[in-house]
Each structure stands twice: as structure tokens, then as C-alpha cells.
A and B are shown apart, each in its own frame.
Chain A
């Protein structure tokens, strides 16, 4: 049988006058003259890490083409943001990347404060850094647990989630919620850390490396793990940059770019930590990068706990920070400030600001445009998972179907952020 080569122009319905399908030129010429299969993976599927749908064209077991379909979790965040005050958007940010909620809160608060020109207190700076690094650990623990399940190892999932429970305890102690923390506010935090938090976190930083080394012992030199991840889904550095990848995906391909070092925020330049850079850009390197990033996050946390300064956690600006309830109930001026903030919201000056932070998944950017009112004109989330996922077809084509699962897992997507 002959090879089939076909043409397609865009903006046609895909069906010609005779009623035959007008086809797309295949990137890979089929070797066997057999027919390909079109297989639908998802959106409900245990291994797609959320509601991602992959339409896969298979030649036997080899993936010829994979077409991701998104939008199954599109929640209209950016539209909602135009109808909410800046402080009301903070709870929305929890729900985009729900695996590392405190990092999202911090990212948005930094962007809003840059827009309004608010400088936060030293204590708040260190607390936000602690929040970001805690989020990094819990996000990577989910990634580790779910990726091991995808590749067949169930036990690291339980170990990783047990570590997450310890961080959840600390998050609950601080904010009252395990997952939807909403920990930041404009100009400060929702609350200062309670007694016992610092000791609890210190205890965590001392015992966490034990779990990491257990997971390392089980996975890193495991023949099945290495066999399924080495050489799979590799991207060169130039490709990674051209695809606008960020975070561990970019660094595993050998590009030493970390927002914390290159565009530092929250005084990251004063902390000692290493940027973990891989070499081959395959799934195995991404695993090693994320595992080592957990060690580095632990290291940063230990340093941050040592230097946590005393002092107020919120700026002393009553137009931005709600006065304490006792004063709001007793003092007229405080009551008026409270009223204005709650009813009218904090007005931002005309302008726009973009702040990118190093989310566990990559560079999470918040782009806020203001027209002088209390609700933004445009709130754009620059979603690292969305952009990282766009490289999936490039990484997966030519590999086997089971490699597709491993590659999809290695991208570390969270559909709440991909679809927003």
C-alpha cells in the first residue's frame, strides 16, 4: 500500500466537495502501511494529572501525534478578577495552582503591591519566603507521589503525602485552612505565625531529609525507574527556551535560569542555595532536579527560620491594612478606614505591573492593569504549567504510549493553573 500524504489548508471545514476528508500532512511518514489508531486519553483518566485530554494517534504502540485538549477546568478566573477587589482576588489565587497555594498568594500580593507602590515589612518578607518554600516542598511531594504511581511505584505516594500532612498541619496552624490558605493580604499577611509554628517548621526541616533519602533510595537507582525515565522526552536547551518553558522543565534541559537568582524578590539574593540544573532534559533529569530542589527548599527554610525578625507583619498604612477589630469598633477614624476598605476596596493608581515568581512549576507571573479603580482592568496569570504543557507534543512524538504517560507526569501540570 502506498503512503498517504495529504494537504490541509486552515479555515476549511476539513471536508472537500466530494465529501472526503482533507488531511493534515503527517510529520512522520508511517513505516508500516497499516492504519493508525486514534485513542482518546481523558479527560477523566487516572494518569493525566487532572482533567487533561490527550488525543493520541498511535502506530501500534508508537505515538505519532498527540494533540492535547485543555479547558476542561476553565473557571473564568481572569474574568472574575475584574469584578473583585484586590484583597478579594487572594482567595481566587489559592484555587489556580492548588498544590502550592501559598506561593500563588505571595505572587499575586507582590504584583499588587508593586502596582500600588507598597513596601512590606522585614518580618513579612521572611514569612512570605517561608510560605513560598513550604509550597515548593508540598508541590514537589505531590509531583513525586503521583509520578511514582503513574510509573508503577505506589509506596512513595504514601510517604510523600505523609510529609504533606505535616506541612498541612503547619499551614492549618497559621491560616486555618489546609489547602486554600489565602495567607497574604495587600501590605502584609492575614495573620502572624502563631506560637509553635517556628518550632514545628524547624522540626520539619530537620526530619524531612530522611524521607527524601528514603524516596531517593527507592527510586533513583531503581532499574525500572531508570529504564522508564532515562532518555524519555528529552528537550535541548535551545528548544526549552524557544518553547518558553520555565522552572524545573527549563533547568533540567541545562538552562540555568531561576527567577529567584536572576530576578530576585523577597530578598532571595541574601540566602544561600543552589540552582539545580540538569543535563539531558529527559524525565529522569527532571526527577533529579525536583528531588534536589526539595533539599534546597529545606535549606532555605532553615536559614529563613534563623533570621525571622521580630516586628509587625503588616505595614502601618491604615488605607491598605484593616485596623484591628477592637479599634474599628471603638475609634471613629479606624471605623471609617475599615468601612472604606471593605465597601470600596483599596484603589490602585493607574498603571500596570508584572511580577514573576519561581513557583514550583515554573515562573508564575501576575500581570495587573489598573485604571485607578479598586478592581483591576485586567488580571493576567502567566501560567507556567500551561506553557510547559505546550511542549508535550514535541516531547512525546516518536515515543511509546507508556512513555507518553511518563512525559506527561514529568511536566508537572496542575490543571487549575493550565485552564484557569
Chain B
């Protein structure tokens, strides 16, 4: 205990008392593993908010059905009300008309909350690089796990859920940034416009896909 308290002592500094207090709390929490208990309970009872739009929603339903059954992984009850949900699973493509809806649903979820972007369309816009499609929901809501596939197999979605479990188990209660709400800025965007344009650019070098004839 003495060693820990000696490392950051800067006497005379205005913050030294709070720093030492934080060190003490961190040590206590490490020893009693509150973090681990909280993360374990959060990860193993993630109630999904299925924001199912298109084909991925059908694979999501198949994952919920008896063959693959994600209730084994703690997702026992699909919370159709965002107020009672932990993880928003965006399963399917997201057109611009639906964008304010998912943002509102995300804002209505209480902390702690996570987002799984299921499928290629939710992650990047998929094969729909056109006027109507949001090129990835991360332009609108912060995403924790991306599950690629068109649609991802149920095993793929389960793997994504397990990755989220791993991510949650690595979290710390003392990190305030994790549980902070990230509202939209005054322009109504989550990311700066240049970033949105950059991540929405078509990739690959096929110009044929934009040529009409």
C-alpha cells in the first residue's frame, strides 16, 4: 500500500489530495473486483432492442428461434421498448427516412447502452451506395461491434454478441467517458461533415457501378 501511495505524490500541487484519493479508490475497486462483477452481470444479460429493418432482421429472428437461440447468451427478452433495452441491434439497411428514428430510439435508451451494427448495410451502406441509403449507421449513432455479412449467419451474429461481451468485460466503472451520452451537435450531426463524407465515399476502384450505360 505504501508503494502505491508514494508513486504520484507531488506535495504542494493543488491536486495531490484528490489524486491520492483516486489511487485509493482504484486500489479498493481492484481488490474487491466490483468492476468485474458489474461487467459480468451487464454482459450476460444484454437485452437487445431489435431495430430490424430488412433481410438481416430475418436472420436475427432465426437467431432468436430454436435452432440458434441467443437466449442462451443472456438475450432472453427482446426489449421492443428502448427504455428497457441494453443493446441496440440495427439489423438491416437504414435509409435516410429512417435515420431520425434510429437516432431517437438510441437517445431513448438509458445508459449503459451499446450498439451492434448487424450486416453490411448497417455497417457501411452495403450494396446500396445511392441517394436513399445511410452509408453506415456510425454516421448517426456510435457503434460498438460491427458484424459483417449479407446477411451474417446466425453464428456470425452470435460471435458479434460474444465480442460485445468481451468488450463489456474490459470496461471500467471509473471511466466517465464510457457512460456519457453523446448527443448530436448543434448542426444535427454526430461527426464533422468532412468525416461523414470521407467514410461514405465509395471504396474500390470500379467506376462501372456509377455508370448508367
Chain A CB within 8 A of B136 CB = no
CB distance from B130 to the nearest CB of A (A): 4
Q: A79-B130, A83-B209, A161-B62 are in contact. Are A72 and B97 (CB under 8 A)?
A: yes
Residues of the A chain whose Cβ atoms lie less than 8 Å from the Cβ of B95:
71-75, 419
Task: Judge whether A302 is part of the interface by a CB distance below 8 angstroms.
Answer: no
* Stretch of A24-32, A39-47, A286-294 at the chain-chain interface: A39-47
CB under 8 Å from chain A, chain B span 167-213 = 209-213
B38 at the A/B interface (Cβ < 8 Å)? no
Determine the distance from Cα of A157 to Cα of B62 in the docked complex, in whole angstroms: 10
Which listed residue (A51, A91, A142, A157) contacts B58, Cβ 8 A?
A142
Is B97 touching A71 in the complex (CB atoms < 8 A)? yes
Is there a chain A Cβ closer than 8 Å to B105's Cβ?
A: yes
> Which residues of chain A from 63 to 83 have a CB within 8 Å of any chain B CB?
71-76, 79-80, 82-83
**6 further interface pairs, Cβ-Cβ under 8 Å (given A158-B65, A162-B65):** A45-B80, A95-B55, A161-B62, A161-B65, A178-B62, A178-B153
Inter-subunit contact B212/A162 (CB<8 Å): no
How many residues of chain A are within 8 Å of chain B by beta carbon? 41
Whether the Cβ atoms of B212 and A73 lie closer than 8 Å is: no
In whole angstroms, how far apart are the Cα atoms of A278 and B165 in the complex? 50
1/0 contact string of A126-161 vs chain B (CB within 8 Å): 000000000000000010000000000000011001
Nearest neighbor of A416 in chain B, beta-carbon distance: B54
The answer to whether B53 and A73 touch across the interface, beta carbons within 8 angstroms, is: yes
Q: Counting CB contacts under 8 A, is A260 at the interface? A: no
Given A74-B97, A162-B65, A99:B58 Cβ within 8 A:
yes
- Digit string of A219-245 for contact with B (CB within 8 Å is 1, else 0)? 000000000000000000000000000
B146 at the interface (CB under 8 A from A): no
Q: Do A51 and B53 touch across chains, with their CB atoms under 8 A apart? A: yes
CB distance from B151 to the nearest CB of A (A): 6
**Considering the chains assembled together, what is the distance between the CA atoms of A180 and B128 in angstroms?**
15
With contact pairs A75-B95, A180-B55 given, residues A165 and B128 touching in the complex (Cβ less than 8 Å): no
What residues of chain A lie closer than 8 Å to B213, measured between beta carbons?
Answer: 371, 373-375
In the assembled complex, 7 residue pairs joining A and B whose CB atoms fall closer than 8 Å, in A order, are A50-B52, A73-B54, A73-B95, A74-B95, A80-B127, A80-B128, A95-B54
The list of the 6 closest CB pairs from A to B, nearest first, reads: A98-B55, A161-B65, A76-B130, A76-B132, A46-B80, A373-B213
Residue among B62, B98, B105, B127 making CB contact with A73, cutoff 8 Å: B98
Nearest A residue to B66, CB-CB: A158
B133 and A75 contact, CB distance less than 8 A: yes
The answer to whether A83 and B210 have CB atoms under 8 Å apart is yes
* Nearest chain A CB to B84 CB, angstrom units: 13
| Chain A CB within 10 A, most for which of B58, B61, B62, B93 | B58
- In the assembled complex, the CB of A368 is this many whole angstroms from the nearest CB of chain B, namely 14
- Return chain A residues, CB-CB under 8 Å to B54: 50, 73, 75, 95, 98, 415-416
B residues contacting A by CB (< 8 A) are 51-55, 57-59, 61-62, 65-67, 78, 80, 92-93, 95, 97-98, 101-102, 105, 127-128, 130-133, 150-151, 153, 209-213
**CB-defined contacts of A43 to chain B, threshold 8 Å:** 98, 101
Q: Which residues of A contact B58 (CB under 8 A)?
A: 98-99, 142, 179
Whether A322 sits at the interface, judged by CB under 8 Å, is no
Q: Which residues of A contact B66 (CB under 8 A)?
A: 158, 161-162
The reply to whether the CB of A164 lies closer than 8 angstroms to some CB of chain B is: yes
Residues 178 to 229 of chain A near chain B (Cβ within 8 Å): 178-180
How many whole Å from A244's CB to the nearest CB in chain B? 25
Could you tell me if A76 and B65 are in contact, using CB atoms closer than 8 angstroms? no
- Determine how close the nearest CB of chain B comes to the CB of A43; give it in whole angstroms: 6
Residue pair B98, A162 in contact (C-beta under 8 Å): no
B127 surroundings in chain A (CB, below 8 A): 80, 91-92, 95
Write the chain A residue with the least CB distance to B49: A44
> Shortest beta-carbon distance, B76 to chain A, in Å?
14
Identify which of A45, A83, A94, A165 contacts B212 (C-beta below 8 A): A83
Bound-state Cα–Cα, A157 to B61, Å: 10
CA A373 to CA B59, docked complex, whole Å: 37
Instruction: For the complex formed, measure the closest distance between the CB of B68 and the CB atoms of chain A, giving whole angstroms.
Output: 9
In angstroms, Cα B98 to Cα A83, docked, is: 24
Report the separation of the CA atoms of residues A213 and B31 in the bound assembly, to the nearest whole angstrom.
Answer: 60
B105 near A44 with CB under 8 A, answer yes
In whole angstroms, how far apart are the Cα atoms of A335 and B183 in the complex? 55
Please tell me if the beta carbons of A165 and B67 are within 8 angstroms of each other in the complex: yes
Nearest CB of A to B75, in Å: 15
- Across the two chains, which residue of chain B brings its CB closest to A166? B67
Q: Give A365 to B91 CA distance when docked, in angstroms.
A: 27
> Which residues of the partner chain B approach A83 to less than 8 Å between Cβ atoms?
209-212
Chain B positions within 8 Å of A80 at CB level = 127-128, 130
Known contacts: A44-B101, A74-B95, A75-B128. The answer to whether A416 contacts B55 by CB under 8 A is yes
A142 to B60, CA, bound (A): 13
> Chain B residues near A92 (CB, 8 Å)?
127
A179-B132 in contact (CB<8A) = no
* Beta-carbon nearest neighbor of B102 in chain A: A44
**Given known A-B contacts A44-B105, A99-B58, A76 and B131 have beta carbons under 8 A apart:** yes
> Which among A44, A75, A76, A162 is the interface contact of B51 at CB below 8 angstroms?
A44
